[in-house]
Structure 1
Amino acid sequence: MIAKFFASGGALDKAIPGFQARQPQIDMAQAVADAIKADDQLVVEAGTGTGKTFAYLVPALVSGKKTIISTGSKNLQEQLFHRDLPLMTDALGFTGLVSLLKGRSNYLCLDRMSRQITESHGIHSDPKLLSQLVQVRTWSSSTKTGDLGECDAIAEDSPVIPMITSTNDNCIGRECPSYEECFVVKARRKAMESDVVVVNHHLFLADLAIKETGFGELIPEAEVFIFDEAHQMPDIASQYFGQSLSSRQIQELAKDVEIGYRTEAKDMRQLQKTADRLSQAAADMRIVLGEPGFRGNWREVITSPAIQREITRLTDALDLTHEVLKLALGRSQLLDTAFERATLLKERLKRVCDTSITGYSYWYECTPRHFSLHITPLSVAEKFHEQIEQQGGSWIFTSATLAVNDDFSHFSQRLGLTPKQQFSLESPFDYEQQALLCVPRFLPEPNSVGIADRLVDMLAPVIEANNGRCFFLCTSHQMVRDLAEGFRARLDLPVLVQGETTKQKLLAEYLERGNALLVATGAFWEGVDVRGQALSCVIIDKLPFTAPDDPLLKARIEDCRLRGGDPFSQVQIPDAVITLKQGVGRLIRDKKDKGVLVICDNRLVTRPYGAVFLRSLPPIPRTRDVAGVGQFLSSVNNAVAPADHEEQHSEA
């Protein structure tokens, strides 16, 4: 039945120029259709080029059941909604309603925007922010969705965004004067009426965990749940089944108290004082917590007298805010909501500081301006399984990286899944001809002193001979900095570095230059699609084991031990294998792509567990000779330049 849509002369063949069905794609589509029909769970690993998007969209659309599709990021969400779904709905003649739903922080809040514009005309106004606010207000009169991603006037990381969007904590709901025009309410109403709703994992899991008002009803109504880039689900689920408190939440509360004073309760000067004190207490705690970019063990640092002192100050500031807001109750909806938030944040602070409760990891994280305190359950398997049982319906999980050595238990057990079927699809790429894997000889030990200099000396000639066109993926920010410095001193080619601008701008500049080396970490290991010879060399500094002092990893190791398992083979190796597979996946994105993968870690060949990594990778020919890498790249570069790649839908 499902196969006919993919057959020669079928619906997809007629609608998509050059469409060619592949057996693995048909097998996946059939398995998805069976799971939907029987309300089963299904886990499918489908590598790049197997066509997994169409393989789950076709059976979902023809099933007639309400479907939620969740993706790993907002970028993928938009690609699915704006590119792949319209193509499929046209091909299949699907007439149902399709909608895109993001988290509330993506939508303009009309009430908060008008308050900010009033506030920014005061003595403290920043002309640049006021200019952006005016541009957003102009855009707001023409937008239908209120999705700030569509507003070209402001950058995605603009500091104005948190000021003009609402959070779960500060939304005043039906009491809001702009409730009927609210873009979040409109988006959610549309989602409630739709047959297919595209969300992302963060939104889906936030909803599952807290049943956010107005959206919690959406998910029980669905009968089919499909998760693309599903390998991210266990870690994201951990975040949402725990609790957290951040300086951003505290600062936003302080800001709203200040706005309430300036606009609606000008006779209550103590509101301004309490807002200043709250803001200062959060800033002082951030300074005491130390370096940015660091995840630490909260259970350990909370014993320090300096931290205890700041917790007391923060607690006192929240208590004072709570008491002052109690006096202002009934003065304005903004201040009434702020009172509820102060109550909630007081409770959260108390909870995250009670580290005696077992079964959780207690950790903190610092960015240059903010800190966040977290408690995360050691395992989410029971909670997630419980939710699946309550919701019913069919649950389908797919990604290019789910199996470790053809075994899916690492993924399935973390989410408490009991799938009827779990299998891998064979890739259509000819890795034997298209790629070469090199683990160079004479490598220094990972983490040894001066390793970045050695890698620069060894690999600069390869990068030079390839005229750039290379990603160097690192496992730490420090290695990114060290390698960037070394390569900039050594190469005449452009060296682009993650952190110096946004991910989107960096990628755009890489493609525009055509001869660059991009040195990056985390964000570039997955979700980046560079096809053709623009990227013909991917170098990885070492096997991507998570840092042993990472508090989340420590928690999972503790949980594994409590269950009588071996944490290294059951937690650390599988995690690193999945991450490595994601990094390797950047290289070959198309049937015509060719390139070299260099992994600078002897452990792949000297340690017994190296075999687990190698068996989990595609069947790429291997060498230990760096000179062989140069020869392979020369042969690729000397070949007749392939015709420019058109945007192909074979990926989908």
Structure 2
Amino acid sequence: MTANPLADDITQAAACLGGDGLLAGEVQGFAARPQQQEMAAAVEQALTDASTLIVEAGTGTGKTYAYLVPALLSGKKIIISTGTRHLQDQLFHRDLPTVRSALGVPLKAALLKGRANYLCHQRLHMTRSEGRLGDRRQANQLEQVFDWSGRTASGDIAELSNIPEDAFIWPRVTSTTENCLGSECDWFSDCHVMKARREAQDADLVVINHHLLCADMALKEEGFGELLPGAEAFIIDEAHQLPETASRFFGMALSSRQLLELAQDAINEYVGETGELDGLPDVARELEKATREFRLEMGQGEQRAPWSRLDGNPALTEAREALKTALADLAIQLEPLSERSRGLDNCYQRALRVQTLLAQTTEQPPADYIHWFETWRQSFRINLTPLDVSENFNSQRHALPDCWVFTSATLSVNDSFSHFAHKLGLEDATTLQLDSPFDYANNALFYVPKGMPEPSSPDYTRHMLDETEAIIEAARGRTFVLFTSYRAMNLARERLRDSCQFPLLVQGDAPRNELLERFRELGNAVLLGTSSFWEGVDVRGEALSCVIIDKLPFASPGDPVWQARIDAMKEGGGNPFMDEQLPHAVITLKQGVGRLIRDMNDRGVLVICDPRLLGKRYGRVFLNSLPDMGRTRDLDDVVKFFHASDALSL
């Protein structure tokens, strides 16, 4: 990898982001940032040279504008991929219109999501005609969807924000690649997915997400088929998430949902076509029964473990044979019926594919794949995850245009990009590391408590909560407490529920966005969260003045995917701790730390309770990867910092 030299002459993109540039006249309160201008110049150069660039842009750099400005000025057809659908919406509906207006560029843009985000007319009407929903709430949600279906132009289910993202109704009114009827659907001419794809084909700039990018790279046809080769450049935001997303999409999985939906769709199509309630429906119900019995034999409760833990269990083997038989019987029933309708033919083809998938995921896995499973109360998923996606991703990338920009606030470890680059096979990329423009040295204090036991100690969480209570008191609430496990978070909930005098919000008690909105409105709340609150959370101002992290976020060694990667690295003569576990933990910690200072005027205290940070040699790698801020081990300094901050805000 080579470092990106700072351009001697200011570029067009950098000039637009200057103090008297075009963005300053469009964005209220805009302030020029040298880091943002430097990133814009580097992105502009990469687009000109059709090269690969990796940019770490510290919190507050304004990386979105830094890549949007050169992208819009380039005149190229560009695909921008973000980490989540929420970031997609923010980029497309807020940031992109601002930059387009400031530059005066007549650019045609499109927003494209996976098909599960769009209303399917055929599924909606089939579900309404069935009249078989679990409860009144689902029935009410179905009628809300039906009423909205006559008004929406895009069919994007995000428009119906009053129905939760995980509501049971959504899979009943959206399609998958498996149950989509394609051009033979009666609603094909009004299909929202096809409309979104056509708009993306015609657009100059398309905003997608990593799931969609990887799904199409893996030829799962989730999004847009020929759109990827038609682009001239790719910009990957929140790029630190991409390796994990890619590992899921370059693998294989079989879920109980696939099996149960196949059975239900076969019944619906058969009854709709013939009006008969016997015959095929009886066979499909045997598949439902076999699927539930297979889940029962996988064990109780939530699990995440290697498949080897189950393989060889006689009862599970028997249940698997029953499941294979039920699938085969359904395929036999569907074969002569497949010519009667597109829907029945679709079910027949799905039954054949699922038969193959069942064999692949429950018998001998392919080489270089991790074979593992997950269970929930009533469902399961069996996974085959590739050990390494770099070769797959790199071959896909080289089949596409050469210009790729990868950016995030957290890509480097100890000032090196080698960990991220190796994950995706980007060793030849140009790199640029930009520190945050925020004044951490004066506006933040880093506190590591004294006298903490080792994290493996059974008393660790109790000691950590002793410190936490004192710090929350000094901060007058206004605190995120980020945990590396649900167990520790739940222990904190039990203790702080009675002792904390400030409003207590806990992950899981309400949707994330609702908890964050309440946190902002209350102004003195304490929020307890695990992984989903370590990144993608933006709370500015005094409402968040302290972030407490219970432990260094090393991945659980009991996780089947991690353990398999560790074993493979050991067998290959590598050092899994230094090459994999430590870099991953550093990047995760940087994400958590990034929640604290979100604005030029923010002030706050960062607390990391884990004594390994200062007591272990590898702690230096964490410290070298964090912003430069004042450090203390004295709680009195924390109290004084909060008093001084409160005085400044008066």
TM-score range, shorter chain: over 0.9
Amino acid at match of 1:25: Q
Q: Write out per-residue CA displacement over residues 81-104 of structure 1, whole angstroms, 9 at most, x where no aligned residue.
A: 011000010111111210100110
CA distance in 2 between partners of 1:457 and 1:20 (Å): 41
Residue 605 (structure 2) aligned to one of 585, 596, 600:
596
- Indicate whether 1:257 and 2:266 are aligned: yes
Alignment correspondent of 1:102: 113
Deviation at 1:562, TM superposition (A): 4.2
- Indicate whether 1:60 and 2:97 are aligned: no
623-632 or 28-37, which deviates more: 623-632
Deviation at 1:153, TM superposition (A): 4.9
Amino acid at match of 1:352: T
Preserved CA contact (<8 Å) 1:257 1:338: yes
- Indicate whether 1:632 and 2:626 are aligned: no
Residue 403 (structure 2) aligned to one of 391, 394, 413:
394
Deviation at 1:307, TM superposition (A): 2.5
Amino acid at match of 1:38: D
Residue 499 of structure 1: SS of its match in structure 2?
A: coil
Preserved CA contact (<8 Å) 2:504 2:525: yes
Q: Write out per-residue CA displacement over residues 560-587 of structure 1, whole angstroms, 9 at most, x where no aligned residue.
A: 2344321110000000000000000000
- Indicate whether 1:26 and 2:37 are aligned: yes
Identical residues among aligned pairs (%): 46
Q: How many residues align?
A: 639
Deviation at 1:51, TM superposition (A): 1.4
Deviation at 1:486, TM superposition (A): 1.1
From the superposition, tell whether residues 259 and 462 of structure 1 become closer, same or farther in structure 2 (CA, over 3 Å). Answer: same
Residue 110 of structure 2: SS of its match in structure 1?
A: strand
Amino acid at match of 1:397: F
Residue 75 (structure 1) aligned to one of 82, 86, 97:
86
Residue 424 (structure 1) aligned to one of 433, 443, 459:
433
Preserved CA contact (<8 Å) 1:587 1:597: yes
Gaps of 5+ in 1: 642-652
Gaps of 5+ in 2: 1-10
Deviation at 1:401, TM superposition (A): 0.2
Deviation at 1:465, TM superposition (A): 2.8
Preserved CA contact (<8 Å) 1:493 1:517: yes
CA distance in 2 between partners of 1:299 and 1:39 (Å): 46
Alignment correspondent of 2:215: 206
Preserved CA contact (<8 Å) 1:11 1:91: yes
CA distance in 2 between partners of 1:125 and 1:34 (Å): 56
Deviation at 1:513, TM superposition (A): 2.2
From the superposition, tell whether residues 496 and 293 of structure 1 become closer, same or farther in structure 2 (CA, over 3 Å). Answer: farther
CA distance in 2 between partners of 1:320 and 1:15 (Å): 64
Q: Write out per-residue CA displacement over residues 146-176 of structure 1, whole angstroms, 9 at most, x where no aligned residue.
A: 0011024522221100000000111010010
Deviation at 1:442, TM superposition (A): 1.1
1:134-213 matches, cutoff 5 A: 134-212=143-221
Amino acid at match of 1:609: Y
Residue 345 of structure 1: SS of its match in structure 2?
A: helix
From the superposition, tell whether residues 591 and 391 of structure 1 become closer, same or farther in structure 2 (CA, over 3 Å). Answer: same
Residue 337 (structure 2) aligned to one of 328, 346, 358:
328
- Indicate whether 1:462 and 2:471 are aligned: yes
Alignment correspondent of 2:579: 570
1:310-329 matches, cutoff 5 A: 310-329=319-338
CA distance in 1 between partners of 2:40 and 2:417 (Å): 19
CA distance in 2 between partners of 1:153 and 1:427 (Å): 36
Residue 86 of structure 1: SS of its match in structure 2?
A: helix
CA distance in 1 between partners of 2:627 and 2:646 (Å): 23
Alignment correspondent of 1:130: 139
Alignment correspondent of 1:648: none
Deviation at 1:420, TM superposition (A): 3.8
Residue 61 of structure 2: SS of its match in structure 1?
A: coil
401-410 or 437-446, which deviates more: 437-446
CA distance in 2 between partners of 1:410 and 1:291 (Å): 37
Residue 520 (structure 1) aligned to one of 513, 519, 529:
529
Residue 339 of structure 2: SS of its match in structure 1?
A: coil
Deviation at 1:356, TM superposition (A): 4.9
- Indicate whether 1:10 and 2:15 are aligned: no
From the superposition, tell whether residues 457 and 213 of structure 1 become closer, same or farther in structure 2 (CA, over 3 Å). Answer: closer
Deviation at 1:214, TM superposition (A): 6.7
Amino acid at match of 1:103: G
Residue 219 (structure 1) aligned to one of 228, 251, 262:
228
Alignment correspondent of 1:446: 455
Amino acid at match of 1:529: D
TM-score by length of 1: 0.95
Deviation at 1:275, TM superposition (A): 2.5
Deviation at 1:125, TM superposition (A): 6.5
TM-score by length of 2: 0.95
CA distance in 1 between partners of 2:358 and 2:322 (Å): 12
Deviation at 1:353, TM superposition (A): 1.8
- Indicate whether 1:622 and 2:635 are aligned: no
Deviation at 1:545, TM superposition (A): 0.3
CA distance in 2 between partners of 1:600 and 1:321 (Å): 56
CA distance in 1 between partners of 2:501 and 2:29 (Å): 41
Deviation at 1:25, TM superposition (A): 1.3
Deviation at 1:138, TM superposition (A): 1.1
Q: Write out per-residue CA displacement over residues 265-320 of structure 1, whole angstroms, 9 at most, x where no aligned residue.
A: 33251322222222222223333333544321013322222322222222122112
Preserved CA contact (<8 Å) 2:365 2:384: no
Residue 248 of structure 1: SS of its match in structure 2?
A: helix
1:356-371 matches, cutoff 5 A: 356-371=365-380
Deviation at 1:130, TM superposition (A): 2.4
Residue 583 (structure 1) aligned to one of 587, 592, 617:
592
Alignment correspondent of 1:88: 99
Deviation at 1:261, TM superposition (A): 3.5
CA distance in 2 between partners of 1:292 and 1:60 (Å): 48
Residue 504 of structure 1: SS of its match in structure 2?
A: helix
CA distance in 2 between partners of 1:355 and 1:545 (Å): 30
Q: Write out per-residue CA displacement over residues 81-136 of structure 1, whole angstroms, 9 at most, x where no aligned residue.
A: 0110000101111112101001100100001100110001x6x7643322222221
312-321 or 431-440, which deviates more: 312-321
444-453 or 39-48, which deviates more: 444-453
